[in-house]
Amino acid sequence: MKGRMRKLFLRGVEPIPGNHVRLMQSGAEFFPALIAAIDAAHAEVHLETYIFNADPTAELVRDALMRAAQRGVQVQLLIDGVGSRELSAAWLDALKTAGVSVLAYRPLVNSWRSNPRNLRRLHRKLAVIDARIAFVGGMNLMNDYVPVRFDAPRLDFSVEVQGPLLARIHQSVRRLWRLVALTQLQAGERKPEIKPSWPTDGHVRAAFVVRDNFAHRRDIERVYLAALALARDEIILANAYFLPGHRFRRLLKNAAARGVRVHLLVQGHTDHPFFLAAARALYHDLLAAGVAIYEYQASELHAKVAAVDGHWATVGSSNIDPFSLLLAREANIVVNDAAFARDLQQRLHQAIGQSTPLNPADWQRRPWPQRMLSWLAYGGVRLMVGLAGGRRWV
């Protein structure tokens, strides 16, 4: 068993024992915990997000950051130049006036749609407070009901981490901040680095896995592939933008063929219909192989999570698509713990109960214009990835 578990992790991203991890679902659990941690900060706050939306929920986070800076905490906010491009100047001015240091990752110098290389984004959602507590997941700084379309909140997840894994997470956010500041010729004031600290009674083994353009280009993809290849009982995977490569799809089909229950939870409603059409080009092949696919209907699905065999789980920012796996900066937590994995598994099964199962026979009989549209969209996605400099995903 121990040998099998070791195969689930890569050299350099092995799980570290002794952590406390807590799964949080949607903003009702995530935002109060994040704001409380920021309000308790006494030395530093690092926050990275793709979207910082000007709405009442995000305003609470903004105000907590400002309060921290005003009491002398070093607060560094890194936002994405595309995802947060509509953040108002008034909000940015208020943050900076309060003493918050703000940087934009790859700020736009022209229309982002005109340059495919602008697809290389900061998609991580990370917060590290006083090097003692971290939040890693898929939730942007925005209200669960924005844009308002559903009675239920957006389905998304994050993980609160305390323990020795903080050392790696803290190092990662500091390194990226320094890199972005250097590229924008903004040295700023450098304060002494605080040493991570944590409670000593944690028992969970967990790894911090990133995707970047340097030493960790395929780490997130590879830990997924290892888990799929070794699955014996059940794979349950929820992903907002699901467009995997050939190898990923083959491993899902192989798992189903050897009797593994494979459940795939995908969007039923989307803010990117072109991308959903592309993803649907792949469903027929998976359904025919015995993979169960469910389209989530209760609200918007934004989760990027998976649970395998009741003991392995991952929660993070990475979609299973070429943009996340080849181009964007991403961060996931991978957990080897039965209680955590079962918690995620149960929440996902509950979401499946609010979803529409796709029938293989009905899917095969879809009108040909729909099928043609899907394949055209799929080809368009491949073209965009190629123009952005991404290799062919496999």
Catalytic site residues? 123, 125, 130, 302, 304, 309
Q: Is 318 helix (H, G, I), strand (E, B) or coil?
A: coil
Q: How far apart are the first and last CA of the chain?
A: 29
Identify which of 121, 134, 80, 138 has the alpha carbon closest to the alpha carbon of residue 213: 121
The Cα 248–Cα 225 span in angstroms is 6
* Residue 267, both tokens: 């969007």
Place of tokens 């394949």: 375
Number of helices and strands in the chain (H, E): 13, 15
In contact, 255 and 365? CB cutoff 8 Å: no
CB < 8 Å & 24+ apart, contacts of 89-92: 91/52, 91/54, 91/62
Place of tokens 């986070």: 61
Q: Is 267 helix (H, G, I), strand (E, B) or coil?
A: strand
**How does strand 261-267 pair with strand 157-162?**
unpaired
Identify which of 389, 228, 240 has the alpha carbon closest to the alpha carbon of residue 318: 240
* Residue 21, both tokens: 């991890």
